Amino acid sequence: MTLEQHISFLTKSAVKALYDVDATDEQIQLQKTRPEFEGNITLVVFPFVKLARKAPAQVATEIGEWLMAKGEGLIARFNAVQGFLNLVIDDTFWVHQLEAIDADAHYGQQPDRHQLMMVEYSSPNTNKPLHLGHVRNNLLGYSIARIQEANGWRVVKTNIVNDRGIHICKSMLAWLKFGNGETPESSGKKGDHLIGDYYVRFDKEYKAQIAELMANGLDEETAKREAPLMREAQEMLRKWEANDPEVRALWARMNEWVYAGFDETYRRMGVSFDKIYYESNTYLEGKSEVEKGLASGQFYRREDGSVWADLTKDGLDEKLLLRSDGTSVYMTQDIGTAKLRFQDYPIDKMVYVVGNEQEYHFKVLSILLDRLGFPFGKELVHFSYGMVELPNGKMKSREGTVVDADDLMDKMVEDAREIYLQKNDQSTMSNVQCDEVARMVGLGALKYFILKVDPRKNMLFNPAESIDFNGNTGPFIQYTYARIQSVLRKAEGAVTGYGLQVTGLDPKELQLIQRLTEYPAIVRTAGNDFSPAVICNYAYALACDFNSFYHDLSILNEPDASKRALRLLLAKNVAKVLCSSMSLLGIEMPERM
């Protein structure tokens, strides 16, 4: 039973005994005691003032006295400030709480709720490598999945790979025209990087053709439409959808290069998927559903043969579902993917981790699925997050100025290694040890800096700031964990802690125990809000509390054996909760730094 549950139960008993009133859960209002007053938790007594027909301060005093007398030693003392009853909890309770935390190997995790949540994230295109925007998407999606698992959900992590469409044909066509048979093996490049180069090459050549056509008198829109490269790419897309064997063979070969590159990036980033869907397999399902909707009158066909949905009655506009040449759009694919997913899994909640620029898209998807008769249509959740910017502005992949995810991770690990070598005696570590710590710290810095920001906000990613060992960063929390592990190694297994006989807790000790007891509620809040930032804020606060405790109080050199045992147990469980909370963010914790 938590402290809040203890106080709530006792308060109901007090109100019944004092005023013959059955208090409701809504009337029991508890909050953390303000720092200017003595106390650990505060009961707001205003809901009972009218019932008792007494002044707020008198009601607070009467309830406080009852809790002191009947509360089985839970309340050490109290003070009443108008309608607020500040309660000081007996040290014995806090020690027992610490022992309970230590005994719980899965502390912070909620019971299995026997419900399944599918979380979609990543959604890359096979015409370019993953970039900084994908990094935020993947880290958010993976962390949300971990947090929901801790909240008792069964989670299926899924990815939809956009492996077809005009953008894919652009890379294919550029490789055919300018590649001279280049492969990942012949070039030494990762496959996704190689294909990305040809996507950029297409754009460069296409712009040159547009400029030439405009110089010959065409307006810009006509030039864009009539440029030979674009017409060839569109023809390639039509051949792909017609299952042309040569186009399909080239498509399969180039996609395999990209998938191998993606897998390497995902492994390094520390994210994974339970099920991967491919647009090339789902878009036909979507087209079939659109044709059914057309036949039933849900959609309509225009004179040019294109198929549309009229959403004006829903306060939106008209939405294209099939082009005049019969090719599908993203919406068509998403309809088919949703159908297949709910056939494959008994999904209770479907969550799409997609940037806020797609909010309109998911409003439309929800409406269309509902119109098509899918009962899950209205229940889809679009986890909308803000965009990532750099100090020099947003990324533009088609111009070849994208911040590549692999390059970014290389830089973070390189910077972490340099800082680590500056802080440590190189003669005491192996290269393997140094490389592993640098990997954990560099990637931990990247992940924490991105996840600590409210996901709904746009953010500015600053690599130098993210890897600072002081302040609200991943390395600071990792260093705190490693410091605790050093203390525990020196203690040589002397962390027992059960049956502690401790009175007169130091305020620093009490603050740490209180912070530890908050962890299960923090995990619940992060799950309800779909916010890894809640976990980041908690982990940072816990690390700060420990460092303040470590600075002011001796652990190994404490002469009182009972206090020494308590402090070692505290250190052990701070490390446990730090490791648990950071694992929800996908961050590894080094044992030594």
Distance CA 469, CA 166 (A): 46
The string of pLDDT tens digits covering residues 357-371 is 999 999 999 999 999
Q: Is 72 left (phi over 0), alpha (psi -120 to 50) or beta?
A: left
Distance CA 50, CA 216 (A): 86
Distance CA 192, CA 482 (A): 36
**Encoding tokens for residue 560?**
């009182």
Q: Which residues contact 22 (CB under 8 A, 6 or more apart)?
A: 12, 15, 16
CATH numbers and ranges of domains, the chain: 3-89 (3.30.1360.70), 121-399 (3.40.50.620), 405-583 (1.10.730.10)
pLDDT of residue 464: 82
**Under DSSP, is residue 118 helix (H, G, I), strand (E, B) or coil?**
strand
pLDDT of residue 398: 42
What does the angle CA 154 – CA 344 – CA 242 come to, to the nearest 5 degrees? 140
**Which candidate, 95, 52, 137, places its Cα nearest to that of 405?**
137
**Encoding tokens for residue 241?**
């959808």
pLDDT of residue 487: 95
**Which candidate, 153, 136, 30, 164, places its Cα nearest to that of 89?**
30
Tell me if 569 sits within 8 A of 497, measured CB to CB: yes
Alpha-carbon distances, residue 24 vs 8, 29, 528 (angstroms): 10, 10, 24
Pair type for strands 381-385 and 388-389 = unpaired
* Residue 428 CB burial class (10 angstroms; 0-12, 13-18, ≥19): exposed
- The beta strands (E) that lie in 134-289 are given as 154-161, 275-278
Considering just the CA atoms, what is the radius of gyration of the chain in Å?
Answer: 30
Question: Which residues are bridge partners to 277 per DSSP?
Answer: 160
Tell me if 329 sits within 8 A of 320, measured CB to CB: yes
Tokens 């209002």 belong to residue: 29
Give pLDDT < 70 ranges for the chain. Answer: 392-402, 425-429, 493-502
The string of pLDDT tens digits covering residues 58-115 is 999 999 999 999 988 899 999 999 999 999 999 999 999 999 999 999 999 999 999 9
Give the number of other Cβ atoms within 10 Å of residue 546's Cβ: 25
pTM: 0.91
